[in-house]
């Protein structure tokens, strides 16, 4: 190690930098090799500091070690002499991964051998300053000097940046003279004009696209924003493996796709999509949409034991509910014959073998290697054919690939035996491909450009590239992003099934769950879910978010879209004594009081009305502004103020009715509050939902030692059988949404009947301050 420190310091690195470099084994190896190549090129001449710095810069940024000797020699022979040329050289070899390199093209792209004289620099700077002379004399040192540098740099691409800047500074000084006190004064800041779009900093819906911290989801996904590769430039991605056939396959890919972005959303049809999938849907479909591409909905239907038709239907329904239309709906099973043929080819190439180790033998951190790994190719071909013909029992034989995954897993299974009929292919197959085998090949078959996966699939990226290259088929690029998780819930299919089986929830669409069908049933608008995904953003890190952030997005959308109606959950009868029994007045209620032009509805006002029990108190308390025997209250939209004349109670002393008098609000003193009311109402059932779990992380045994089933909130559902709502909701359809004034946002539940509607509370009007 001491010897290497000496080698590294000999080329100009400080001792501290040399020791830091040694900690990086890969960089140390590359730098040592680069120095060896340079010394070989220079002979007896030592590597000076300038050359050493360029060698270090090249070695620390080089992605393809095959090019190290080529670049190191050019640096040593002073054909590459600046950082700018090093950067250009690295870009060139990255975009030209195949041999041989065209030396003439390389030299031209990297300025190899180009010499910029001081006289050239002086002349170009002089011309540039002459162009802006009047502006310079007027603005002096407040002039944007970067403009001068930019134009001079454009004229002399390969000039040394420091020399160029020194010349600019010197000629500006010669023109303007030294800085005066006026030049040194700070330039006053001009206040930015606030436009209508940035008056509100929080998210706003604009033409259906939601802004999140200044960027919409489409803006987050468009073009260069994610630093993804361009179609056909897969080889520029770090870790992408280039073979002798790569450039030919990419050329064929571009001819077929026309350079179009292609993504896919590939769910397993063995459960219902949840809030985490909403991010995946928005990312995959959104990235394609933002870049004028297409997105496939591909069912990963390779496990017939767990797949049901209802899941296929529900998945597509939820994708379309979120506002996305697949370019095509495909299935992994569409490619079963093609995948089988590729498996045979994999065996022929010596990359796969039939193994008889049992599943239990393959479990654990370090299972023993297969004794059948080196069996002859012809033998594996014969045995694989027998697997297909059903001549082995389940678990008796598998097809395994000869490769090691990034997590250390050795020889993953490509095919296993399952004597279960497939929902699409019936009994045609008894061997089924695994995810590790199917996923990348289906991506290749569909010519996917960006295979977007959650972070846990990062360990499979090398196997993804390996399998495509082992078969010499087009190889897409896998990109990973962070999962979206919510607190106070579980989304695991196994755990949701447990909740259903134990009767904690009714089904996958129980509104207390965070499956997409449950959120829709609760009344969450699809726009709000998409807005939430935009607010969370596209991040590589895993995101764990509180439910109230999602609920805030829901309120934003419903505030603009849900018409207002009046309802009372716990009715108290009120009789207006100074109104004739036959009185029936039509009251016009605006659907959106803040913008009455958006429509209204008519409700009756009669001698008998109903108010909330909580809007009356027999004993006046400090700060209470609603109805008491000594305090009148206004009726919303009716134009009346009521005052208590008599309180009627039942035998137990409970208030069951109020007799009041009413006065027109035009003549009455303005009351302290106005309350909602209903007259001649519809009876309805209302379901009030709270969090299903008591703790933030119900699956964490450190937080909930008894397991998630022991953490159920006993008050997560409250059913009110005899709530009352005004008749304007008559004829509303399932999932129609309303704001019950002063109460919250509600949605029509599928359990509704013509005789009795059922409403689910979506969210309260304001966030509960008790929720964090």
Contacts of 188 (CB under 8 A, 6+ apart): none
- Name the nearest CA neighbour of 454 among 467, 474, 439: 439
Distance CA(353)–CA(401), nearest Å, equals 7
The helix/strand/coil state of 475 is: coil
The helix/strand/coil state of 615 is: helix
Q: Which helix (H) or strand (E) holds 603?
A: strand 600-606
Helix axes 49-61, 25-42, angle to 10 degrees: 140
Distance CA(598)–CA(97), nearest Å, equals 61
**263 and 296 in contact (C-beta within 8 Å)?**
yes
Alpha carbon distances (Å) from 752 to 48, 209, 460, 517, 682: 84, 32, 47, 17, 13
Distance CA(657)–CA(639), nearest Å, equals 22
The helix/strand/coil state of 124 is: helix
- Name the nearest CA neighbour of 433 among 496, 469, 387: 387
**632 and 623 in contact (C-beta within 8 Å)?**
no
- Active-site hit among 215, 236, 493, 617: 493
Distance CA(763)–CA(551), nearest Å, equals 7
Is 268 tagged catalytic? yes
In the block, which residue shows the tokens 């502006």? 135
- Active-site hit among 219, 268, 570, 657: 268
- Name the nearest CA neighbour of 438 among 197, 608, 264: 264
CB atoms within 10 A of CB 102: 11
Distance CA(211)–CA(219), nearest Å, equals 9
Beta strand pairing status for 640-649 and 633-635? antiparallel
Beta strand pairing status for 205-206 and 209-212? antiparallel
The helix/strand/coil state of 298 is: strand
- Active-site hit among 222, 483, 495, 617: 483
Of the CA atoms within 13 Å of residue 91, those in its CB half-sphere come to 11
Alpha carbon distances (Å) from 362 to 327, 369, 370: 39, 9, 9
Q: Six-digit token pair at 50?
A: 């300038």
Distance CA(101)–CA(105), nearest Å, equals 8
Is 493 tagged catalytic? yes
Q: What angle do CA 293, 296, 299 make, to 5 degrees?
A: 165
The alpha carbon of 110 is separated from its chain's Cα centroid by a whole number of angstroms, namely: 38
Q: Six-digit token pair at 445?
A: 């078959």
- Name the nearest CA neighbour of 481 among 535, 427, 540, 407: 540
**461 and 239 in contact (C-beta within 8 Å)?**
yes
**688 and 761 in contact (C-beta within 8 Å)?**
yes
DSSP notation for 703-772 = T-TT-GGGGB-TTSEEEEEEEEE-GGGTTPPTT-EEEETTTEEEEE-TT--SSS-EEEEEEESS--TT--
In the block, which residue shows the tokens 């944007």? 144
Catalytic residues: 268, 483, 493
């Amino acid at each position: 190690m001491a010897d290497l420190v000496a080698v590294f310091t000999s080329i100009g690195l400080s001792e501290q930098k040399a020791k830091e470099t040694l900690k990086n084994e890969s960089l140390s190896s590359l730098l040592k090799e680069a120095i060896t190549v340079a010394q070989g090129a220079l002979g007896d001449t030592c590597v000076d500091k300038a050359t050493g710095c360029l060698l270090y810069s090249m070695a620390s940024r080089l992605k393809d070690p095959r090019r190290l000797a080529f670049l190191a020699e050019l640096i040593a022979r002073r054909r590459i002499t600046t950082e700018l040329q090093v950067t250009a050289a690295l870009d060139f070899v990255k975009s030209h991964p195949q041999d041989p390199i065209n030396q003439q093209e390389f030299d031209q792209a990297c300025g190899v051998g180009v010499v910029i004289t001081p006289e050239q620099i002086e002349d170009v700077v002089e011309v540039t300053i002459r162009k802006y002379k009047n502006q310079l004399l007027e603005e002096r040192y407040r002039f944007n000097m970067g403009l001068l540098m930019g134009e001079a740099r454009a004229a002399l691409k390969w000039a040394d940046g420091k020399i160029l800047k020194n010349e600019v500074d010197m000629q500006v000084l010669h023109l303007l003279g030294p800085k005066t006190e006026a030049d040194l004064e700070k330039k006053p800041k001009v206040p930015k004009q606030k436009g209508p779009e940035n008056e509100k900093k929080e998210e706003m819906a604009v033409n259906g696209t939601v802004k999140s911290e200044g960027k919409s989801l489409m803006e987050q996904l468009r073009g260069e924003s994610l630093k993804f590769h361009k179609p056909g430039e897969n080889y520029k991605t770090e870790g992408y493996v280039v073979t002798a056939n790569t450039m030919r396959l990419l050329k064929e890919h571009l001819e077929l796709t026309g350079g179009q972005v292609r993504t896919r959303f590939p769910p397993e049809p063995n459960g219902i999509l949840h809030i985490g999938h909403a991010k995946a849907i928005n990312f995959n479909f959104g990235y394609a949409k933002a870049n004028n591409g297409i997105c496939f909905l591909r069912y990963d239907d390779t496990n017939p034991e767990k797949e049901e038709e209802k899941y296929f239907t529900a998945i597509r329904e939820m994708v379309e509910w979120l506002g996305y239309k697949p370019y095509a709906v495909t299935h992994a099973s569409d490619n079963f014959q093609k995948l089988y043929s590729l498996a045979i080819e994999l065996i022929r190439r010596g990359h796969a073998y039939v193994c008889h180790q049992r599943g239990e033998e393959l479990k654990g951190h370090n299972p023993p290697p297969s004794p059948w790994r080196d069996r002859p190719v012809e033998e594996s071909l014969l045995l694989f054919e027998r697997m297909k013909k059903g001549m082995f029992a389940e678990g008796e034989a598998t097809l395994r690939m000869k490769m090691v995954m990034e997590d250390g897993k050795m020889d993953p299974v490509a095919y296993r035996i399952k004597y279960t009929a497939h929902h699409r292919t019936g009994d045609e197959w008894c061997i089924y491909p695994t995810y590790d085998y199917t996923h990348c090949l289906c991506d290749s078959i569909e010519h996917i450009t960006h295979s977007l996966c959650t972070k846990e699939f990062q360990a499979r990226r090398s196997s993804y590239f390996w399998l495509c290259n082992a078969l010499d088929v087009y190889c897409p690029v896998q990109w990973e992003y962070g999962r979206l998780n919510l607190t106070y819930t579980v989304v695991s299919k196994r755990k949701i099934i447990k909740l259903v089986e134990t009767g904690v929830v009714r089904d996958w669409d129980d509104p207390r769950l965070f499956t997409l069908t449950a959120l829709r049933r609760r009344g969450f608008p699809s726009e709000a879910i998409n807005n939430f995904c935009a607010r969370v953003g596209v991040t590589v890190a895993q995101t764990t978010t509180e439910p109230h952030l999602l609920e805030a997005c829901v309120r934003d959308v419903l505030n603009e879209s849900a018409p207002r109606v009046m309802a009372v959950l716990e009715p108290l009868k009120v009789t207006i004594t100074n109104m004739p029994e036959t009185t029936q007045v039509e009251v016009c209620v605006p659907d959106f009081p803040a913008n009455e032009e958006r429509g209204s509805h008519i409700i009756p006002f009669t001698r008998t009305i109903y108010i909330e029990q909580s809007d009356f108190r027999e004993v006046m308390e400090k700060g209470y502004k609603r109805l008491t025997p000594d305090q009148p209250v206004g009726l919303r939209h009716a134009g009346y103020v009521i005052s208590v004349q008599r309180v009627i109670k039942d035998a137990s002393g409970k208030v069951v009715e109020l007799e009041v008098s009413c006065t027109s609000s035009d003549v009455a003193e303005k009351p302290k509050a106005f309350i909602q009311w209903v007259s001649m109402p519809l009876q309805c059932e209302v379901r009030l939902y709270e969090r299903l779990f008591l703790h933030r992380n119900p699956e964490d045994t450190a937080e909930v030692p008894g397991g998630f089933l022991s953490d159920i909130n006993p008050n997560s559902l409250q059913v009110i059988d005899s709530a009352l709502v005004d008749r304007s909701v008559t004829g509303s359809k399932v999932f129609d949404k309303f704001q019950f004034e002063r109460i919250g946002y509600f949605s029509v539940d599928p359990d509704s009947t013509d005789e009795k509607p059922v409403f689910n509370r979506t969210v309260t009007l304001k966030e509960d301050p008790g929720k964090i």
